Amino acid sequence: MVNGYSPKSLQQALLIRSKEAVIPYAGGTDLMVQNKKGAVYLFLNKIDELRQITDDGEYIRIGAAVTFTEGLKSDLIPQIMKEAVSRIAAPAIRNAGTFGGNLGNASDKADSVLIEVAMGAKVRLLSVGRERIMPVEEFFIKRGNTALADDEIIAEILLPKDKCSAPFYYKKVGGRNALAISRVALAGVYEIKDGVIASFSAAAIAGGGVFQRYPEIEAGFIGKTADEIKANKSEYLKAYSEKLTFARGRVSAEYRKTVIMNLIGDYIDTL
Amino acid sequence: MREICRSIKKKDHDPKIEGRSRYLADYNLTDSGREILCGKLLRSQYARARVKGVELPDMPDGYIYVDASDIPGDNNVNIVLDDTPVFARETVEYIGEPIGMIVGPDEKEVSRLISETKVDYEALEPMTDLRKADKAFFNYEFGHGDVEKAFAEADRVFEEEFTTGYQEQAYLEVQGMMAEPEDDGKMYVHGSLQCPYYVHGALARAMGTGPDGVHIYQDVTGGGFGGKEDYPSILGCQVAVAAKKANAPVRCYFDRREDMEFTPKRHPSLCRYKMAVKDGRVTAVDCDVIFDAGAYSTLSAVVLQRGIIAAPGIYDIPNVHVTGRALKTNTVPCGAYRGFGAPQTFFAVEMMMSHIAQALGEDILEFKAKHYVKQGDKTSTNGLYHFPVPIPAMVDEVDELSDLRRKHKEYSKPQSGRYRRGIGLSTYFHGAGFTGSGERDIIKAVAKLHKYPDGTVEVLASNSDIGQGVRTTFPKIVAHELNIPLEKVYYDHPDTARVPDSGPTVASRSLMTVGELLRRAAIKLRNIWVEGEEQEVEEHYKEPDFMIPFYLDRFEGDAYPTYAWGVNAIEVEVDTYTGVTNILGAYASFDVGTPVDYNIVMGQMEGGFLQGIGYASIEKMDYDKNGKIWNRSFTDYLIPTAVDVPELKVTLHVEEYPDGPYGAKGAGELPLVGAAPAFVAAVEQALGGAEKHPLHSAPFNAEDVISELNKEVK
């Protein structure tokens, strides 16, 4: 037995959210497995306003209830996101799972969130009479914990357009080829202008409850040519090796560290 | 192929596809209309402890607690040694061991009562290290020739150690049993199970009723793979004791985590091999095989027997010495799983032969080939390979499927890029049917056919359809011999009150042994057929005349009447950055004799092969020093999906067995047995071969690849 509200409009949804202790429900692929006792859900998956993918000139805006399958079919979604989303779970789950749910679920292994962090995406949060827009990196505090207020819902994810067509690196390592949670993953986007790196990001899933991204190391890539970076590859690797943390987990820290360092090396090689 | 091989629609196809099949969890009421109570097990939190007392919370009306003191018969489950208690004795011997059961109408309330029950333990030191374990449930030794002399005269002697891990059956339907006290005082027990008469024997003992006081029915069963060979006997006794005390039907079925953590799995193994080589040939093998039995002996005796008999592989080695022990650890008892001890020793011997070939600078395929046994050679137990050994032809077939020989040469050249390739070969057998003289001395199978006046014929046997299709293939054989339409012959799920004991559903025996009894029964019925009359015929097992009697005390004679043969080649590409091994192709030729239904057999072959690939690669499960298993969900224990082995090609090689129906031999287990050595040998080749990276363990997953590569750096 599942109890909940099925509002027809965003306004209705926000009103219910402001008054009742409800769990926002987009695709349900995690919530229905958790099957929390006594839970009351706010079903957002039928609300049209949350199911659009739009281009406002500055951002590609992905509605929270857009499913992964819909994202894969859209011309607006950048390739790096498609590569990550296409490796989430299996087709049946991608048909139900959503971008908003992946973020709201607050997993440090969420494949679409890694891309958002790497792209410097923002999240748009709504409550009755209020809107907040903040970087996804700030919104995701740590595993199981986000900045979502009790009266808010995730409305949209905003991907900066200038990063959408930029060259990128993405590699996911799971335990098998389908229905696999990322053990290690690395995603990054970069831009080259006038022969030098104009922007650079590298975000990692490597366990420990967070997505790891180090702007101070990234800053060291700016203004360099790809050849200069490759010539100093060991310096960059050393910097990452000192910064990255690997909490204990089911998959050994030795494994995660070796693999993420190999992937960062590979990323540098592809610049 | 013969007419009988033609594929037909399975008898259980429609009810399963349409969702009409009733599994144990689907019962709302019993068939007699009674309410069903829910039973949940109170389990030990310790791997070894004295249970000083159990303090129950306030029990609401209608809720009762059941433990060893409620057992009407005696507190031993009949399996092999009968050392497994129904409910714990004074001590608990593994985490999860059932101490008692709480029974009542509401499942949530039962769960609450279990969680609020306090057990007073006096913790004892558990044994959770197989290398230190010293209590042997079983200790076997056999051999022939003069091993000492062969080692003394050897040009070279090789010694290596191999380990394999747990494997979880991962059947679709978890374990579950139900017991219903009947008006006439009998206890009716049914559920998801493979061996109705095993459960029957266990119940008769635990309930103290003798064989007439109980009867057992197999519900629709969502897979077994060996996991439901012994365990339903234990759970069946527990629910029956509870139902007796409650005087009401009691059902207990597990959730997935409970099933994965606390029910039997494949035995982890530790095998030490020593081989002597003289003039380029292996002249002696001396091996010590250790299986981790867990806390009670359950089926370990027979699993170990099959494992050690296969220990020298399919190689003609004149001097053989084998020791085997099943050691006790304070962990969940291991049991049966498709392959039954053979995957462990075939992994060891196949890797060993491949390592020796590499050390001698010989081609692995050719080195193995010059040692293959052939028809008329002696087996490891001084029996005979009575029938042709088709391995060389099957290697050619696999070569044709996979381009094995060319690729094997190509991939043995030095590789240095990020992605490196390898291809591994395994060649092996699976002894068809029970080990030794069990079929003749213990099982003594009986099967019947009952013809009704309207001309329909019912098969009466005790073998369970657990997905392998005996509800289809048994009637197919009978209809074929009687020359009547298949619709006129049916085989219902067995109830021991109605069917004779045709033996358990194990050891790849059902079709070969019971199918042959039914074929002969059908001929008998055909010869006495009278239209419109009710008639019944019966057949009893007879050991084939050619068999050399087997003596278990000295492991002498024909351990099996015949063998199913397997050749596997697995081709991989290892990503040295991530350790991930991509399976480019998995190829096999299997000889299971005549496939009595082509699609059913191919389903078995492909499914079993994939299960073996899981065992070889990603299916990792282990316990910690406290005896606790952590990988107890499908999130942490991964099994392969279809996209992990997209290129899986299987061909059948048919070497007909004259004493099986239409030439059929044992089929079910064979496809799993050889995947691990083929896969690991492929990874080893990709990493640069045994000189650089000799591999000795299965499963071998991405983490293992990375830690192996990290040795190069250090």
* A248 at B interface, C-beta within 8 A: no
- Non-local (6+) Cβ contacts of B96 within 8 A are B43, B44, B261, B262, B332
pLDDT of B713 higher than 80: no
CA distances from B665 to B164, B302, B445, B567, B660 (A): 28, 20, 17, 16, 6
Inter-chain touch A177–B707, beta carbons under 8 Å? no
Q: B-chain residues within 8 Å CB-CB of A251?
A: 703
pLDDT > 70: what percent of chain B? Answer: 100
Q: Which of B490, B513, B540 represents a domain boundary (last residue)?
A: B540
Amino acid code (one letter) for B143: G
CA distances from A185 to A109, A112, A213, A260 (A): 9, 11, 12, 7
Q: Do both A41 and A143 map to the same domain?
A: yes
pLDDT of B714 higher than 80: no
Asked if residue B162 belongs to a domain, the reply is no
Q: Do both A111 and A186 map to the same domain?
A: no
Helix H or strand E segment including B277: strand B269-278
Size of interface A-B (CB pairs under 8 A): 55
Q: Do both A113 and A220 map to the same domain?
A: no
Q: A-chain residues within 8 Å CB-CB of B708?
A: none
CATH number of the domain where residue A207 is located? 3.30.390.50
Inter-chain touch B638–A259, beta carbons under 8 Å? no
Is the distance from CB of B291 to CB of B334 less than 8 angstroms? yes
Give the pLDDT confidence score for residue A247 in this predicted structure: 87
Asked if residue B6 belongs to a domain, the reply is no
Q: B-chain residues within 8 Å CB-CB of A175?
A: 618, 638, 701-702
Inter-chain touch B618–A184, beta carbons under 8 Å? no
Query: In angstroms, what separates the C-alpha of B707 from chain A's closest C-alpha?
Result: 7
Q: Which of A108, A134, A163 represents a domain boundary (last residue)?
A: A163
Q: Do both B429 and B443 map to the same domain?
A: no
The radius of gyration computed from the CA coordinates of chain B, to the nearest angstrom, equals 26
Give the pLDDT confidence score for residue A147 in this predicted structure: 98
pLDDT > 90: what percent of chain B? Answer: 98
How far apart are the C-alpha atoms of A81 and A190, rounded to whole Å? 15
- Chain B: residue whose CA lies nearest to A263: B577
CATH number of the domain where residue B46 is located? 3.90.1170.50
* A179 at B interface, C-beta within 8 A: yes
Give the pLDDT confidence score for residue A239 in this predicted structure: 98
Inter-chain touch A177–B631, beta carbons under 8 Å? no
Q: SS3 for A252?
A: coil
Backbone angles phi, psi at B38, to 5 degrees: -100, 130
Q: SS3 for A79?
A: helix
Asked if residue B547 belongs to a domain, the reply is no
- Chain A: residue whose CA lies nearest to B631: A250
Total structural domains within chain A: 2
Please return the burial class of B512, using the count of CB atoms within 10 Å of its CB with bins 0-12, 13-18 and 19+.
buried
Phi and psi based region of residue B571 (left: phi greater than 0; alpha: psi -120 to 50; beta: remaining): beta
Q: Do both A171 and A130 map to the same domain?
A: no
Q: Do both B231 and B303 map to the same domain?
A: no
Which of A60-94 are b and which e, b meaning 16 or more Cβ less than 10 Å from the residue's Cβ?
Answer: bbbbbbbbbbbbbeeeebbebbbbbbebbbeeebb
Q: Which residues of chain A have pLDDT under 70?
A: none
Give the Cβ contact number of residue B606 at 10 Å: 18
A 81-110 residues with CB < 8 A to B: 90
Mean pLDDT of B47-71: 98
Backbone angles phi, psi at A122, to 5 degrees: -120, 160
Total structural domains within chain B: 3
Q: A-chain residues within 8 Å CB-CB of B707?
A: 252, 254-255
Q: Do both A190 and A156 map to the same domain?
A: no
CA distances from A106 to A86, A137, A140, A205, B551 (A): 20, 11, 7, 13, 63
Backbone angles phi, psi at B528, to 5 degrees: -115, 5
Site from A262, A263, A264, A270 to mutate, B interface, most B CB atoms within 10 angstroms: A262
How far apart are the C-alpha atoms of B342 and B316, rounded to whole Å? 18
Q: Do both B601 and B578 map to the same domain?
A: yes
Helix H or strand E segment including B190: strand B187-191
Inter-chain touch A259–B643, beta carbons under 8 Å? no
Please return the burial class of B300, using the count of CB atoms within 10 Å of its CB with bins 0-12, 13-18 and 19+.
buried
Q: Do both A214 and A136 map to the same domain?
A: no
Q: What is the per-residue pLDDT across B146-158, written as a single tens digit (0 to 9) for each?
A: 999 999 999 999 9
Short-list B343, B355, B397, CA closest to B613? B343
- Chain B: residue whose CA lies nearest to A266: B577
For B486, the domain range is: 438-540
How far apart are the C-alpha atoms of A177 and A184, rounded to whole Å? 14
How far apart are the C-alpha atoms of A247 and A256, rounded to whole Å? 10
Short-list B405, B355, B320, CA closest to B150? B320
Inter-chain touch B577–A262, beta carbons under 8 Å? yes
Asked if residue B156 belongs to a domain, the reply is no
Query: In angstroms, what separates the C-alpha of B172 from chain A's closest C-alpha?
Result: 16
Q: SS3 for B586?
A: strand
* pTM (predicted TM-score): 0.97
Among partner residues B578, B640, B643, which is closest to A259 by beta-carbon distance?
B578
Give the Cβ contact number of residue A98 at 10 Å: 31
- Non-local (6+) Cβ contacts of B394 within 8 A are B427, B565, B566, B567, B589, B591, B653
Query: In angstroms, what separates the C-alpha of A28 from chain B's closest C-alpha?
Result: 18
Quote the distance between the C-alpha of residue B68 and its chain's center: 30
Q: Do both A102 and A194 map to the same domain?
A: no
Flag the least confident range among B130-139, B343-352, B705-714.
B705-714
How far apart are the C-alpha atoms of B387 and B617, rounded to whole Å? 34
Asked if residue B402 belongs to a domain, the reply is yes
> Is the ipTM here above 0.90?
yes
Asked if residue B139 belongs to a domain, the reply is no
How far apart are the C-alpha atoms of B300 and B292, rounded to whole Å? 9
Q: Do both A156 and A224 map to the same domain?
A: no
CATH number of the domain where residue A58 is located? 3.30.465.10
Q: Which of A112, A142, A163 represents a domain boundary (last residue)?
A: A163
Q: Which of B228, B262, B296 represents a domain boundary (last residue)?
A: B262
Nearest-10 crossing angle of helices B404-411, B675-686: 40
Give the pLDDT confidence score for residue B640 in this predicted structure: 97
How far apart are the C-alpha atoms of B283 and B316, rounded to whole Å? 9
- Mean pLDDT across chain B: 97
Among partner residues A175, A181, A254, which is closest to B707 by beta-carbon distance?
A254
Short-list B675, B694, B682, CA closest to B422? B682
Amino acid code (one letter) for A86: S
Q: Do both B203 and B332 map to the same domain?
A: no
Give the pLDDT confidence score for residue B1 in this predicted structure: 84
Short-list B243, B304, B274, CA closest to B104? B243
Strand duo A153-160 + A59-63: pairing: antiparallel
Among partner residues B635, B644, B706, which is closest to A258 by beta-carbon distance?
B706
How far apart are the C-alpha atoms of B187 and A51, rounded to whole Å? 58
For A235, the domain range is: 166-270
Short-list B236, B137, B240, B118, CA closest to B182? B240
Which of A210-235 are b and which e, b meaning 16 or more Cβ less than 10 Å from the residue's Cβ?
Answer: bbbbbeebbebbeebebeebeeeeee
Among partner residues B579, B630, B701, which is closest to A259 by beta-carbon distance?
B579
Asked if residue B83 belongs to a domain, the reply is yes
Mean pLDDT of B515-544: 97
Mean pLDDT of B375-380: 98
Inter-chain touch B577–A179, beta carbons under 8 Å? no
Give the pLDDT confidence score for residue B712 in this predicted structure: 84
Among partner residues B577, B643, B702, which is closest to A263 by beta-carbon distance?
B577
Q: B-chain residues within 8 Å CB-CB of A180?
A: 638
Asked if residue B161 belongs to a domain, the reply is no
Q: What is the per-residue pLDDT across B113-134, written as a single tens digit (0 to 9) for each?
A: 999 999 999 999 999 999 999 9
Q: Do both B181 and B48 map to the same domain?
A: yes
Among partner residues A90, A171, A259, which is closest to B706 by beta-carbon distance?
A259
β-sheet bridge partners, residue A171 = A186
Give the Cβ contact number of residue B495 at 10 Å: 15
Residue B582 tokens, joined: 């991509």
List residues in chain B touching A: CB distance below 8 A.
418, 576-580, 618, 630-631, 635-636, 638, 640-644, 701-703, 706-707, 709-710
Give the pLDDT confidence score for residue A228 in this predicted structure: 97
Q: Do both B567 and B654 map to the same domain?
A: yes
Q: Do both A41 and A149 map to the same domain?
A: yes
Query: In angstroms, what separates the C-alpha of A37 from chain B's closest C-alpha?
Result: 11
Q: Do both B641 and B567 map to the same domain?
A: yes
Q: SS3 for B406?
A: helix
Mean pLDDT of B634-657: 95
Q: Do both B448 and B522 map to the same domain?
A: yes
Q: Do both B198 and B67 map to the same domain?
A: yes
CATH number of the domain where residue B500 is located? 3.30.365.10
Q: Which of B506, B540, B574 represents a domain boundary (last residue)?
A: B540
Inter-chain touch A250–B640, beta carbons under 8 Å? no
Give the pLDDT confidence score for residue B532 in this predicted structure: 97
Give the pLDDT confidence score for residue B94 in this predicted structure: 98
